């Protein structure tokens, strides 16, 4: 768990620690990064680190939350699922090291939770589809899980697919599910 207060000092220290972790990840595997290495790279003390974070994994989760919060603020007026999906794909590609580390360390719940929070702030689903809230909740959960699965497979494929190809694959997956489910009726 992370404990970042809203004061400038805490925010600055959190930024230093996340930047330090990013530099460490550029040179080492996550599991090889110690707190001592991280605080040295971040130029903060151990006490500062532990005041803000319980573990290095918490830094990853915090960075993931910040990433999706920034995406929401920067693109607060998503007009469709397509624009939301494309923005997510672009965000994934621009932040591949962080997201791949979260997946490799089995922290996909952090990505899932961040995406759900993002989707809950997007009125286009309710407005355009006219679905009741409980159905929107299930749709949001399905979209978040689909994006994590797509991202995981992209890493397994050594990040070969372009953003456009990933977007097309997601669309084909959704269309295939629709056809398959229609056959069950």
Mean pLDDT value across residues 73-86: 76
- CA of 80: how far to CAs of 37, 50, 160, in Å? 43, 41, 26
Q: Give the tokens for residue 32.
A: 């090889």
Provide the pLDDT confidence category of residue 127 given band limits of 50, 70 and 90: confident
- Torsions phi, psi for 129 (to 5 deg): -90, -20
Domain range summary for the chain, segments of one domain joined by +: 8-54, 58-184
Contact 95, 145 (CB under 8 A): no
Provide the pLDDT confidence category of residue 19 given band limits of 50, 70 and 90: very high
Contact 59, 21 (CB under 8 A): yes
Mean pLDDT value across residues 149-155: 94
Mean pLDDT value across residues 16-26: 97
Residues 6+ apart with CB under 8 A from 154: 92, 161, 166
Within 13 Å of residue 64, how many CA atoms lie on the same side as its CB? 28
- CA of 44: how far to CAs of 16, 37, 79, 130, 179, in Å? 8, 11, 42, 50, 54
The yes or no reply on domain 58-184 and CATH 1.10.287 is no
Tell me, yes or no, if the two domains 8-54 and 58-184 fold the same way.
no
Q: In the chain, pLDDT over 70 holds for what percent of residues?
A: 96
Q: Which CATH class is domain 8-54?
A: mainly alpha
Give the global pTM: 0.86
Provide the pLDDT confidence category of residue 130 given band limits of 50, 70 and 90: confident
Kindly report which listed range (16-25, 64-73, 116-125, 131-140) carries the lowest average pLDDT score: 116-125
Contact 16, 42 (CB under 8 A): yes
Provide the pLDDT confidence category of residue 76 given band limits of 50, 70 and 90: low
């Amino acid at each position: 768990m992370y404990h970042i207060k809203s004061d400038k000092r805490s925010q600055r220290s959190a930024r230093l620690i996340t930047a330090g972790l990013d530099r460490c990840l550029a040179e080492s595997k996550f599991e090889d990064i110690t707190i001592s290495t991280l605080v040295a790279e971040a130029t903060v003390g151990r006490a500062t680190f532990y005041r803000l974070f319980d573990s290095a994994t918490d830094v990853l989760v915090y960075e993931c939350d910040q990433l999706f919060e920034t995406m929401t603020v920067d693109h607060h007026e998503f007009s469709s699922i397509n624009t939301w999906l494309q923005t997510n794909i672009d965000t994934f590609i621009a932040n591949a090291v962080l997201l791949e580390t979260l997946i490799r360390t089995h922290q996909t719940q952090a990505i899932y939770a961040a995406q759900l929070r993002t989707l809950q702030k997007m009125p286009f689903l309710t407005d355009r589809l006219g679905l009741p809230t409980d159905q929107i909740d299930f749709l949001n959960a399905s979209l978040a899980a689909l994006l994590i699965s797509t991202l995981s497979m992209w890493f397994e494929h050594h990040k070969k697919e372009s953003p456009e190809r990933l977007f097309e694959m997601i669309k084909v997956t959704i269309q295939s599910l629709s056809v398959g489910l229609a056959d069950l009726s």
